[in-house]
A and B are shown apart, each in its own frame.
Chain A
Amino acid sequence: MNIITNPLYLQVLVGILVGLGAGYLGSFMVFKRMSLVGDVISHVALPGIALGLIFNFNPFLGAFTALFLSIVGIWFLEIKTELPSETLVGIFFALSLALGLLLTPEQELLEVLFGDITRVGPTEVLIALILVSSLFIIMSLIHRGLTLSIISKQLAQSVGINISRTSFIFLVLIAIIVALGLNVTGVFLTGALVILPAAAAKNISISLANFTKSSAIFGGLSAFGGIVLGNYLGFHPGPIVVLTGGFIFLITLFFKK
């Protein structure tokens, strides 16, 4: 069957692309000690998706807008108030979840919370391809500065790195990958897509290069395995993707460095 028309191929393609991007970004999030941010930030998308469903525009757009606004809000408040990002994310998380649960039409709620990759079409593949490629290109430009600012802010500043700009770009990339991930695993489980591959990769890596590469690969592998297995067993793919990631994590524990 043609790749363009076979829904499973399309799902797997979107899954792998999002998995690669989420795994790669996730490694830097773990490196930056913001795993919790990754875990809860997806919930922030909920009101955006709900508005998309109510007013009939693409929920991805709604999700990205909600994520983007929250991230700008968090970034701004972090600079102004010096509260840690985890506290701020926690506040945004609680508020958006409450708002989202109120707004989302009841019959759509389950799908929004757990994702429905069976709905993706060629357009979603194209969007994922463009956004994930841009993500890798942008990361290749900022990863040195980002890494140095994670190790020591003062050292990074002293060599002329604009820390707040770098961390803003990084947050926007997180918003993009989380919005894309909503297709695959839904609001509740997108955080796992970002964190599990990175946690597994960290177990087996000494160097940053290996860490980020294997995290991307584990992300792609979890999505691929989860979607194929879910389809084969007749289960919802989202949770199986997360379980596959968890399984990879367990295996890496035996090879911990």
Chain B
Amino acid sequence: MPTIDDSRGVLVVRIVYDGPAMSGKTTSLRALASRLGTVVESPEERDGRTLFFDWMDYVGGLFEGRPIRCQIVTVPGQTQLADRRQHLIETADAVVVVLDSRRPEFDFGMRWLREAAQLVSTFQPPVGLVLQANKRDAEDAVDRDEIRQELKRIAPIALVESIATNADGTREAFVLAVRLALDRVRALSAAGKLLTGPPDEAAARDLLERMRSREQQSENRPARVEPRPAHDVDGPNSELAHLKRRQSEPRLQAVSDEELTFEPDPMMPGGMIWPPVEGRTLLYELCSLGIRPSRTRRGDWWGSGSGWRFHSEREAIYADPDHARQELIEWARLHTAVTEQVSAGRAVILAEAGDGRLRLWQLVRVEPTLRERLAAALAQLEAEAVATGLTEVASRLLAARRRFSAGNASLPCTLWTVGDQTGYRPVYVGLMPRPRLPSTFEPHEGELLERELAPHLRELRRVRVDFPEIQARITQISTDAPAETGLRWLLKLTASL
């Protein structure tokens, strides 16, 4: 937990370096130490392996006028020391996961990362994660795009490539972690929860004593356990699903005399991103994708590609920074109110638009929708497959309607806005309607199905000679599941065509 140490006039934050044994944590720390002009302490080592932690103190940078004192700590990477690792991660304000990115180590590294993401997923305010993909000079290093694809399945995590043996990328990962830690500090400060006073452990020996004492008290000496399997880390119920990632260069380019267009910038000032920590990691991912929004005829800004959508309404531009901040807070409240109903991979940010103005953007990760599921179902050759697909889409749509109407926001329930995540409760995957819109709840179940499915069913009847058979199959499915009211509506709808 960060603290304002008034006796020394510094802000103390802890950056924890996590990662499997031999992935390069200690090497990274030593490389960083040589660059920053400080030293690494390793309280206990055996055969060059860290048994408790490596420790490095570094004072640099400023936070609201106070120097930032970074306690940089590595965990022991050996699986039998998992308890010590977990304890250290629990004290982190940001975590850098160092992984060996060579092909033979890759899968194990990703499992490790999943576990780290799960460990920090319950912390509030969130603890940001940075993945330092190490050993990038190896011939069999996994391709960067493949790493990104894997990260998408885990959580939004910033990716920095490194070759720790010659210090490449180590400072970059560290500075990014510090920024994520400062976002956490800001969140704590805003909630009036930022501690003051000396840190619990001011030096390596303090931390060592605490860990030893903890182990003696619990009598649970480091258990010989394998890393726990990650479970439900990408599910909508996981808080981890709200985490995010990545990085690049100056982000504003003039497109006209009137307004600067937006390019994602992970280094933008705190207070302009929601959610604060995950939003920055998400921007870190987006900035390298090269998405350039353009103006629509209506005057909105719109950009998409590489699995993301950016959108800003024409009116969402503010000359007054306070007004812009207030609007960002409104959007944050709106998202928080429906967090259970909406997909992960979202951020709202204020970006410079030129002449001191700020533009509000929402960034949303593209997810599969019911529209795609329907299209796939209608393309099936077998009548039964078509009927099955149709009934699934109808059931899911109505389940989404029920779920969305339970929240306070008016989330549009359409084929395009309901996600198609098999096995999970339906989530809203569309752009978030702006705050303070009057509530316009979706129509009754039958009307909703008619609005969404009738045009497709009419087209189906026109092109398929086996339409009666499809109807019969739907009837059969409906008979087999009499409690499913959605099927009854679908049946009625097909009969009324």
Q: Say whether A and B bind each other.
A: no
Interface of A toward B, CB cutoff 8 Å:
none
Interface of B toward A, CB cutoff 8 Å:
none
